[in-house]
A = this chain, B = another copy of it.
Amino acid sequence: MTTYRERVLVEAIPHLINQEITLRGWVCRIRVLGKTVFVVLKDCTGELQCVAEPESIKEHHLKLEDTVEIVGRIRAEPRAKLGYELDIVRVHVLGRSGQHLPFTSYSNLESVSPETLVEYRPLAIRHEAIGNIFRVQAALLKYFREFLTQRHFTEIVTSKLVASGTEGGTNLFEVKYFDRIAYLAQSPQFYKEHGVAGFERVFETGHVYRAEPHATSRHLTEYYSLDLEFGFVDGPEDVIQLERELLTSIFASLNEWYGDILLSYRERPLPSMLEVPCWEFARCLELLKEHFNRTDLTDDLDPEAERQLCQLAARETGVPAVFVLGFPLSGRPFYTAPRGPAGAASSFDLLFRGIEITTGGQRLHRREDLEHALRSRGMDPANFESHLKMFEMGMPPHGGLAIGLERLTAQVLNLSNVRQAALYPRDRTKLTP
């Protein structure tokens, strides 16, 4: 056997024609054609067809998903898809796969249930189609961070173990913290506001937790939140404009570098988001009444209304996305800035292809306003003292937003359930694998 350092990745092979090389990877296809066996080997950079006489490798009993080392010589072969293939000199089995896998990394997955794809995660993500969901997800993370870093945002890492919730104590998971109770953070909201007072512009990517017993296609109890917050804004429109530019930049990079993957999941490249309109909540209710005869909505939207508004936006702009601004203040967290005197909030949702993928807005930035807001909701400012005192250290007007990574991934790739965009989804009933 050779060593790891001599091992060559499939991507390097074009420079190695006529040389003897060592590959390591998975056996992802085996085919016997007359006196030749074709073994396709896959590593993290690609696939290569390897050929031998069946007798010469029979003793290894190769089967799909085994991990192997293959030593051989690269030969130009005009009939091969890549223009070359490898003549096997010797094979060494590194690890055996099981005998009874419900699918392989080349199966047609149409008849495989989403639950099975989670139970067999390693195999599922080795499959190109499922692996690509998480490659796109990793790219979303990368482009999110890159855009914000270029705009002078500083990445922060804040605690997920907190003494109280950001929204007043509902839907929190309890943690036994030595002789006390702690909670899992629902959001890094407080910490990113502190971050604004320090760095002006901050972002964080991390898990958040909601102890909600939902059983829908759009909710998880643990999800990954792309959070940002920044100072010196005049209003929520400045946050909305930043998100237009952020998503447009992310989508353009995805189109450029992941175009083929996108087109295997959706009909067209991702759109520019620069012209996505912003509609006031009150106007949304009117539009829903006028176009869809919805008279049942008063203080919030439901999933059906979110789909209907995206439909209206698509008619107007060609893109099924709309910012809804000015939800009723009473339904928003205490730190939300008001919008005018009529009970509206300076907060918005971004609806994209029928689902809310972002909540954001302007926040209160004066301690006395926060205290007033807490009291008017029947909460005691004393319970928030360690947070409120941060507003005495030089806090600019500020706002921000949070994008759910799994929802964004699902909407970008046209997936019907947010669980398909979580490697290990967590809900009311699911805690393994």
Closest CB in chain B relative to A432 CB, distance in Å: 4
Q: Does A159 contact B (CB under 8 A)?
A: yes
Contact yes or no, A138 B155, CB < 8 A: yes
Q: Does A307 contact B (CB under 8 A)?
A: no
Q: Does A386 contact B (CB under 8 A)?
A: yes
Q: Does A353 contact B (CB under 8 A)?
A: no
Contact yes or no, A195 B125, CB < 8 A: yes
Contact yes or no, B178 A211, CB < 8 A: yes
A 74-104 binary contact with B (CB < 8 Å = 1; else 0): 0000000000000000000011011001000
Q: Does A268 contact B (CB under 8 A)?
A: no
Closest CB in chain B relative to A198 CB, distance in Å: 3
Contact yes or no, B44 A201, CB < 8 A: yes
Q: Which of A47-55, A232-240, A324-332 contacts B (4 or more CB under 8 A)?
A: A232-240
User: Residue among A45, A154, A224 with the most chain B CB within 10 A?
Assistant: A154
Contact yes or no, B432 A163, CB < 8 A: yes
Q: Does A131 contact B (CB under 8 A)?
A: yes
User: Residue among A43, A161, A163 with the most chain B CB within 10 A?
Assistant: A161
Closest CB in chain B relative to A137 CB, distance in Å: 7
Closest CB in chain B relative to A226 CB, distance in Å: 11
Q: Does A394 contact B (CB under 8 A)?
A: yes
- List of B residues within 8 angstroms of A221 by Cβ: 161
Given the known A-B contacts A43-B200, A67-B232, A131-B199, are A178 and B428 also in contact in the complex, defined by CB atoms under 8 Å?
Answer: yes
Given the known A-B contacts A152-B9, A432-B386, are A393 and B159 also in contact in the complex, defined by CB atoms under 8 Å?
Answer: no
Q: Interface size of A by Cβ–Cβ distance < 8 Å?
A: 100
The residues in A between 383 and 426 inclusive whose CB is less than 8 angstroms from any CB of B are: 386-387, 390, 392-397, 405, 422-424, 426
Closest CB in chain B relative to A140 CB, distance in Å: 10
Q: Which of A168-176, A248-256, A279-287, A339-347 contacts B (4 or more CB under 8 A)?
A: A168-176
Contact yes or no, A397 B98, CB < 8 A: no
Contact yes or no, A4 B234, CB < 8 A: yes
Contact yes or no, B157 A97, CB < 8 A: no
Q: Does A15 contact B (CB under 8 A)?
A: no
- List of B residues within 8 angstroms of A224 by Cβ: 157
- List of B residues within 8 angstroms of A141 by Cβ: 155, 157
- List of B residues within 8 angstroms of A67 by Cβ: 231-232, 394-397
- List of B residues within 8 angstroms of A386 by Cβ: 432-433
Q: Does A305 contact B (CB under 8 A)?
A: no
Which of B44, B156, B397 meets A200, CB within 8 Å?
A: B44
Q: Does A258 contact B (CB under 8 A)?
A: no
A 170-202 binary contact with B (CB < 8 Å = 1; else 0): 000111111010101000000100111111110
- List of B residues within 8 angstroms of A390 by Cβ: 121-122, 433
What's the Cα separation between A137 and B142 when bound, in Å? Answer: 17
Q: Does A129 contact B (CB under 8 A)?
A: no
Contact yes or no, A423 B154, CB < 8 A: no
What's the Cα separation between A387 and B397 when bound, in Å? Answer: 48
Contact yes or no, B175 A184, CB < 8 A: yes
Given the known A-B contacts A206-B206, A395-B67, are A125 and B199 also in contact in the complex, defined by CB atoms under 8 Å?
Answer: yes
Contact yes or no, B95 A366, CB < 8 A: yes
Which of B98, B131, B155, B200 meets A142, CB within 8 Å?
A: B155
- List of B residues within 8 angstroms of A158 by Cβ: 423-424
Q: 5 A-B pairs, CB-CB below 8 angstroms?
A: A24-B232, A44-B154, A45-B152, A66-B394, A123-B394
**Known contacts A94-B396, A98-B393; 10 further A-B pairs (Cβ under 8 A):** A5-B241, A25-B232, A67-B395, A98-B392, A101-B393, A122-B390, A122-B395, A124-B198, A125-B199, A145-B145
